[in-house]
């Protein structure tokens, strides 16, 4: 019997966006000089708010002397009043920048002056961003990350070359929630799975910068097995080694996706470290020629059971499959595989016991219906599933779980596709690593 998957993961959110600014910098010459603002190339040049126009700026009352004007008044102590010293300020991000990538390291630099005090804080209030001032007082660099969808204000005091304090401010806004991109992994952190379980990464937004995303994800294992990525779609990628994971090993996945541009301006919003463990090796070899299932635990034959497979009209695929999930009991419907009442292969809704899913298309290992149990070991009567005796189905259900491997031989129908469940091991390694 075959049943289509009844439910799946929620569809990923689709979001609009404007791309984030990374490493933007501004330079302002003050104390009577000319201010120059350099906009980030990530900003939208068509928008007047994307970057400030070149401007003049001064934090001092001193100005160029008019030769016709009266001399400057003397200070109270009799010394002439000295003009403020000229200095330059560099800002990252630029003043009034928007859609800033929160991975940007906020910073201020000065030349011809020193920084006396710096604060970078959310404009709406909250804890300031931590940072460090250089020993010579000419730069301040944030040591904490920025947050998404936050307006920030830089407030800083500069002591110019004349020792005069100059209070300055600038502001910028980070990427809005619509620009965030989420990522998740299956199996979940802390899981223990079979040796055939590929790692599957799902993204909330289409990934066009595949290289950047792959470089941000590092997979290591105690077995030392190298692996490679294989993209099923723009929102889903799998990772596996050349051969099955070594039994009883630990796989560590470090995803440093915070601030990574997925493409189309969507920005990764988190870094995670996850671990997955494998248990002992469990392999069920199903042979259509002998109509048997042989179960091997750690390479040793443990049990042999008679089975039935799909008919010529509903053949079972060959090759490797991986257990996806299982149910102590569940209902199969003919409609789930496209059959309608009146079709020769139609069957009414049927409850089956000890069902272990092998494919999205509805291939299961399960207890054969009573009328089909006489066929076990003799002929094929299913709609593509592996039918077993009550004892055999319960043994499989109790012994095999997600990630454990089933191999089907001699059906003559070809392998299960990589996307139909976890058909990853049916893709030759040179094709896997050579995906364009």
What would the pLDDT profile of 127-184 be if each residue is shown by its tens digit? 999 999 999 999 999 999 999 999 999 999 999 988 899 999 999 999 999 999 999 9
Between 127-141, 174-188, 326-340, 382-396, the lowest mean confidence (pLDDT) is in 326-340
On whether both 193 and 149 belong to a single domain, the answer is no
Nearest to 400, CA basis, from 254, 237, 279: 279
The pLDDT value recorded for residue 42 is 32
Average pLDDT over residues 90-117: 96
Domain CATH number, residue 269? 2.60.40.3710
pTM, two decimal places: 0.77
Q: How far apart are CA 95 and CA 35, in angstroms?
A: 12
On whether both 352 and 251 belong to a single domain, the answer is no
On whether both 400 and 316 belong to a single domain, the answer is yes
In a domain, 18, yes or no: no
DSSP string, 154-216: EEEEEEETTS-EEEEEEEEEE--GGGEE-EEEESPTT-EE-TT--EEEEESS--S-HHHHHHH
Domain CATH number, residue 378? 2.40.440.10
pLDDT of 88 above 60: yes
| Structural contact between residues 347 and 35, judged by C-beta atoms closer than 8 angstroms | no
On whether both 340 and 219 belong to a single domain, the answer is no
In a domain, 19, yes or no: no
pLDDT tens sequence across 50-73: 333 333 333 433 333 333 334 433
pLDDT of 15 above 60: no
Residue 111 token pair: 């030349």
On whether both 213 and 248 belong to a single domain, the answer is yes
Residue where a domain terminates, one of 278, 303, 337: 278
Residue where a domain terminates, one of 259, 278, 297: 278
The pLDDT value recorded for residue 396 is 98
The domain tally of the chain equals 3
The pLDDT value recorded for residue 69 is 39
On whether both 160 and 30 belong to a single domain, the answer is yes
Using pLDDT thresholds of 50, 70 and 90, give the confidence band for residue 41.
very low
The domain of 263 spans 179-278
Catalytic residues: 366, 385
pLDDT tens sequence across 201-227: 999 999 999 999 999 999 999 999 999
Residue 305 token pair: 């059971």
pLDDT of 234 above 60: yes
- More confident call, 16 vs 259: 259
In a domain, 199, yes or no: yes
pLDDT of 23 above 50: no
- Residues composing the chain: 436
In a domain, 434, yes or no: no
- C-alpha distances (whole Å) from 11 to each of 7, 71, 203, 230, 344 are 11, 74, 10, 21, 35
Domain CATH number, residue 53? 2.60.40.3780
On whether both 274 and 286 belong to a single domain, the answer is no
| Structural contact between residues 254 and 206, judged by C-beta atoms closer than 8 angstroms | no
In a domain, 20, yes or no: no
| φ/ψ (deg, to 5) at 177 | -55, -30
Q: How far apart are CA 245 and CA 423, in angstroms?
A: 15
Average pLDDT over residues 185-190: 98
Residue where a domain terminates, one of 258, 278, 298: 278
On whether both 152 and 55 belong to a single domain, the answer is yes
Tokens 């049916």: give the residue. Answer: 426
In a domain, 273, yes or no: yes
The pLDDT value recorded for residue 45 is 30
Instruction: Provide the phi-psi class of 9: left if phi over 0, else alpha when psi is between -120 and 50, else beta.
Output: beta
Using pLDDT thresholds of 50, 70 and 90, give the confidence band for residue 366.
very high
Using pLDDT thresholds of 50, 70 and 90, give the confidence band for residue 372.
very high
On whether both 157 and 196 belong to a single domain, the answer is no
Q: Mean pLDDT across the chain, nearest whole number? A: 84
The pLDDT value recorded for residue 84 is 53
Cis peptide bond prior to 137, omega within 30° of 0: no
Q: How far apart are CA 340 and CA 347, in angstroms?
A: 9
| Structural contact between residues 41 and 61, judged by C-beta atoms closer than 8 angstroms | no
On whether both 413 and 273 belong to a single domain, the answer is no
In a domain, 68, yes or no: no
Locate the DSSP E strands across 210-299: 217-221, 227-233, 236-241, 250-256, 261-263, 266-268, 271-278, 282-287, 292-297
On whether both 36 and 155 belong to a single domain, the answer is yes
On whether both 121 and 217 belong to a single domain, the answer is no
In a domain, 371, yes or no: yes
Nearest to 62, CA basis, from 33, 31, 16: 31
pLDDT tens sequence across 272-304: 999 999 999 999 999 999 999 999 999 999 999
The pLDDT value recorded for residue 39 is 30
């Amino acid at each position: 019997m075959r049943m289509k998957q009844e439910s799946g993961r929620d569809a990923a959110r689709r979001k609009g966006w404007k791309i984030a600014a990374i490493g933007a910098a501004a330079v302002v010459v003050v104390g009577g000089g000319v201010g120059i603002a350099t906009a980030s190339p990530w900003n939208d040049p068509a928008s007047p708010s994307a970057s400030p126009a070149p401007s003049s700026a001064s934090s001092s009352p001193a100005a160029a002397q008019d030769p016709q004007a009266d001399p400057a008044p003397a200070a109270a102590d009799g010394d002439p009043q000295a003009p403020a010293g000229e200095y330059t300020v560099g800002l990252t991000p630029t003043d009034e920048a928007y859609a800033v990538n929160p991975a940007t390291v906020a910073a201020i630099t000065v030349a011809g002056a020193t920084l006396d005090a710096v604060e970078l804080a959310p404009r709406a209030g909250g804890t300031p961003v931590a940072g460090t001032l250089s020993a010579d007082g000419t730069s301040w660099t944030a040591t904490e990350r920025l947050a998404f969808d936050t307006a920030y204000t830089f407030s800083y005091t500069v002591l110019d070359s004349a020792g005069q304090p100059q209070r300055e401010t600038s502001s910028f806004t980070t990427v809005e929630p619509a620009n965030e991109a989420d990522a998740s992994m299956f199996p979940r952190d802390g899981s223990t799975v079979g040796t055939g379980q590929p790692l599957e990464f799902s993204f909330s937004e289409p990934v066009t910068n595949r290289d950047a995303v792959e470089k941000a994800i590092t997979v290591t294992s105690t077995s030392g097995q190298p692996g490679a990525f294989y993209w099923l779609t723009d929102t889903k990628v799998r990772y596996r080694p050349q051969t099955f994971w070594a039994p009883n090993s630990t796989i560590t996945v470090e995803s440093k996706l915070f601030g990574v541009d997925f493409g189309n301006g969507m920005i990764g919003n988190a870094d995670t470290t996850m671990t997955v463990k494998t248990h002992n090796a469990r392999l069920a070899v199903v042979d259509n020629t002998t109509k048997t299932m042989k179960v091997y635990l750690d390479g040793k034959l443990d049990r042999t059971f008679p089975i039935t497979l799909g008919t010529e009209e509903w053949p079972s695929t060959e090759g490797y499959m991986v257990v996806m999930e299982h149910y102590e009991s569940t209902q199969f419907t003919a409609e789930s595989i496209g059959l309608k009442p009146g079709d020769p292969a139609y069957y009414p809704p049927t409850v089956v016991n000890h069902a272990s899913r092998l494919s999205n298309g509805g291939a299961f290992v399960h207890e054969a219906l009573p009328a089909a149990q006489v066929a076990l070991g003799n002929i094929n009567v299913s709609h593509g599933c592996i039918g077993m005796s009550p004892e055999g189905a319960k043994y499989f259900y109790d012994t095999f779980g997600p990630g454990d491997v089933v191999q089907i031989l001699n059906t003559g129908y070809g392998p299960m596709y990589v996307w139909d469940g976890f058909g990853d091991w049916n893709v030759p390694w040179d094709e896997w690593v050579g995906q364009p």
